[in-house]
Amino acid sequence: MWDGKTSGLCFRVMKSGVRSWTFRYRPHNGAAFRRLTLGRYPALSLVEARAAAERIRADVRGGADPAQQRRDDREALRSAPAELTFDALADLYIERYAKRQKASWKNDEGYLRAKARPAWGNRVATSITSQDVARLLFDVVEVAPVSANRLRSVLVKLFGWAADSALLSTNPMLGVKKPHREGKGKTRNLNDAEIRVLWQALEKAEAAPGIVAALKCLLLLGQRPGEVAGMEIRELHRLNNDGAAHWELPAARMKARRAHVVPLPPLARGIVAGELERQRAADPKARLESVFASKFTERARLARHSLSQALGRIIGELDDAGGDDEAVASLKADRPTPHDLRRTLATGLARLGIPRDDRLAVLAHSYGDVHEIYDQYDRLPQKRMALEAWEQHLRRVIADQPQTKGKVLPLRR
């Protein structure tokens, strides 16, 4: 029985009584229609099946072929050795799951390489127990408490996927709790005095120009640090037009795997254009791909952790004897991270009276329900108005001008 609302979604009832949802689609390569099983009813409801079908449809539009990927996965799992080492299991997890499902898969790869592989690399994966996991996490928490929690999250995903894929008969992560209590979540955001001090410090910083430009864009645009660090020239559009310049992030680079468009207000547009001009002047023959280039020749794009290191160094070098003593002391006592600049923008937009839906759109946050599957409007005009209001506020803060009373938002021409 075909669903009347979601094209391609079908409810199938077998002679055995098994009821399941499937989705039919045609791959971009012109192959015949393919059918993908989504799950059984009633474990998978109609609403959930529709949402799953729309997600798969979005993947297919991007060139994916989910049914073929499942076949490839099954073939890879069949060819996996009977006694799978942890290294081999980690490789399968990165290639078959993380790279397809997580925009932050490189973080997973990094935690496994630094923490888990040295301890378990050549060990048979089925021999790893909950006690082994707990001992590893306790060793890590002694040195890096937050990293221990991040490692646990990666291992939960890895072993959960392995158990679901029948690579492991048991999941050693069951019952393993976070080794470090982080509290209710980070709330750090910069006040106006701290913003002014930080911006002035960025203007004088001896850090690489690309890092300084990226940190400024973080504060102006509020996108995730990894997204800003990885900004590519091909993602930029109409850069010569102050009123139409924008940045289109593909779904593969987004945490929610959904394409995102970010308007570039005048100051942000000027910083991005200036960074491109600087790179072209330094090497006219170079083929540029990344907006914020790395200083390391073996790496084309700026690394996300370079932003954290540079920001910490710039704040650490602030002059205690200069002006804005309280702001300098506050920045040094509770040093903000690059992600805190994103939180600063979110808080600032709320203070300026920007509607919540527009704030969510700027930050690429989801509604958390099925509505986001149906609402495909990019809210580009609303996002531009919000970011222009924030930019005007920052200009006043940086110039140390008094804030106008009331909520003043720019009117569109």
DSSP for 78-103, please give it.
Answer: HTS-SS-BHHHHHHHHIIIIIHHH-T
Q: Give pLDDT tens digits for 124-155.
A: 999 999 999 999 999 998 888 888 999 999 99
Which range among 110-124, 248-262, 298-312, 369-383 shows the weakest confidence by mean pLDDT? 369-383
Minimal CA–CA distance to 331: which of 349, 350, 315? 315
**Inter-residue contact 292 to 211 (CB < 8 Å):** yes
- On the question of pLDDT at 55 being above 90, the answer is no
- On the question of pLDDT at 407 being above 80, the answer is no
Greatest Cα pair distance, the chain, in angstroms, is 81
| Mean predicted lDDT score pLDDT of the chain | 87
pLDDT at site 78: 65
CB atoms within 10 A of CB 118: 10
Q: Give pLDDT tens digits for 199-222.
A: 999 999 888 889 999 999 999 999
Instruction: Provide DSSP, 256-274.
Output: TS--EEEE--HHHHHHHHH
| For the chain, domain boundaries | 9-63, 80-164, 192-371+378-398
For the chain, what is the radius of gyration of the CA atoms? 24
Four-way CATH pick for 9-63: 2.30.30.90, 3.20.20.70, 3.40.50.20, 3.30.160.390: 3.30.160.390
Is 3.40.80.10 the CATH number for 192-371+378-398? no
- 3-class secondary structure, 388: helix
Question: What's the pTM?
Answer: 0.66
- On the question of pLDDT at 195 being above 90, the answer is yes
Distance CA 280, CA 58 (A): 36
pLDDT at site 298: 46
311, two tokens? 């920001």
Q: What integer is the mean pLDDT of 342-353?
A: 96
Distance CA 155, CA 406 (A): 50
Q: What whole-number percentage of the chain has pLDDT above 70?
A: 89
- On the question of pLDDT at 391 being above 80, the answer is yes
Superfamily of domain covering 80-164: Tyrosine recombinase, N-terminal domain (1.10.150.130)
Minimal CA–CA distance to 216: which of 270, 279, 280, 282? 270
344, two tokens? 């600063």
